[in-house]
Structure 1
């Protein structure tokens, strides 16, 4: 399937990391993300997987602009 669709080969660890990052980027709450990943605490999940991404940066800017627009009244 990987060769047929010209996809990048990804290890199980890489897949887990990607899954965790996508959950964070799509605003899955840390408690449920931690449970899904089998972590004992949401802080462990955040410490391990939350870091700046292009998607995350764009979302942060958009949310901030939306907030400023709504504050204008």
Structure 2
């Protein structure tokens, strides 16, 4: 019984190593060519000026009636 358990553990480790690419490219990546950084669509990302610290992510100033944070 112990040997069967160890066999299952080693088989699981081998399948995990295969899926993570330890023995070469993972099977999910077969036939896929990764693009270089210069080939990606860099113009699709636009950077804007950062918001002031006094504003929250929603663009509204925090209300003064908000409860203080718990310590």
Same structural fold, with TM-score higher than 0.5 when normalized by the shorter chain: no
Greater C-alpha radius of gyration? 2
After TM superposition, the score normalised by the length of structure 2 is: 0.31
After TM superposition, the score normalised by the length of structure 1 is: 0.30
- Say which structure is richer in helix: 1
Between the two structures, name the one with larger relative contact order (CA 8 Å, sep ≥ 6). 1
